[in-house]
Amino acid sequence: MLLHIEKVLSKDELKWVRSKFSEAEWVDGRATAGQQSAASKHNLQIAPNSPLGRELSTFLLQKLGVNPLFNSAVLPHRVVPPLFNRYDVGMSFGAHVDNALRPIPGAGMRIRTDVSSTLFISEPDEYEGGELVLFGPSEQQEIKLPAGDMIVYPTTALHAVRTVTSGARLASFFWSQSFIRSQDNRTLLFEFDQTIQELTRQRGDKDNEVLRLTNIYHNLLRVWSEL
């Protein structure tokens, strides 16, 4: 499932994040890449273990925790603390697949990467190139969203970032392990949940059909969840 989530960050929040970016110490982005992807990765990142990296990561995790669309679509069990990157002119990330398992720094554990997310921090007119490209079996999609918007997609997808030809592309990216391993089942539950929410707005949460569908949703979640 490919999902565009609008306005994860407000204009004021974006302004604050970008002010922090201006203070950042940028390091080689290959430090957090796997063996295969490191060869094609050319960008900069805020050092994940730096005080600023941890501050920004904690802030974004708090925002994700209260974002209803993200939680409905991803059903996150665990989330790798978000990373923050910058692509200057000439930088890119060639076609690659993300690691199936990733560590959670400081937690002594790894997660299965089910869902990838990219939050755009630069406005589209601030840079040329830099599109996130997702390669499908019969087509490819190029994604470049407004600042504050986020794209969520299966980590199984082969993907790339086009070469930036002017300006700078600023973004955050991270991975989630879902309670629901199956992508198909996650999509069904998301569509089911969105339907229930719309019916609730129309009929109220005491409506018998709304209650019945809510019961079915939670029973499916109970059957498919992995803890």
pLDDT of residue 51: 95
Are 103 and 174 in contact by the 8 Å Cβ rule? The answer is: no
Which pLDDT value is given to residue 139?
Answer: 87
User: Percentage of residues in the chain with pLDDT exceeding 90?
Assistant: 88
The whole-angstrom separation of Cα 223 and Cα 185 is 11
**What CA–CA distances, in Å, run from 109 to 50, 51, 63, 81, 153?**
20, 21, 23, 13, 23
Residue 136 pLDDT:
87
The arithmetic mean of pLDDT across residues 20-49, rounded, is 85
Is 159 assigned to a binding site? yes
Q: Would you mind telling me the total number of residues written for the chain in this entry?
A: 227
96 appears as a binding residue in the annotation: yes
Contact 112, 177 (CB under 8 A): yes
Q: Which two tokens stand for residue 164?
A: 């930036």
pLDDT in tens, 149-201: 999 999 999 999 999 999 999 999 999 999 999 999 999 999 999 999 999 99
pLDDT tops 70 at residue 36: no
pTM over 0.85: yes
User: Could you give the CA distance from residue 32 to residue 30 in angstroms, rounded to a whole number?
Assistant: 5
Q: Which residues pair with 4 in a beta bridge?
A: 151
Beta bridge partners of residue 3, listed in sequence order: 152
pLDDT level of residue 75 (50, 70, 90 thresholds): very high
pLDDT for 197 equals 97
Average pLDDT, the chain: 95
User: Count of CB atoms within 10 A of residue 90's CB?
Assistant: 10
pLDDT for res 71: 98
> Is residue 33's pLDDT more than 70?
no
Is 218 annotated to bind a ligand? Reply is no
| Nearest Cα residue to 75 out of 219, 224, 199, 201 | 224
| pLDDT value of position 30 | 83
Residue closest to 143 by CA, chosen among 130, 125, 126: 130
Read off the pLDDT of residues 82-138 as tens digits, 9 standing for 90 and up. Answer: 999 999 999 999 999 999 999 998 888 999 999 999 999 999 999 999 999 999 888
pLDDT given at position 37: 67
Please give the domain boundaries of the chain with CATH numbers for all domains.
3-178 (2.60.120.620), 183-224 (4.10.860)
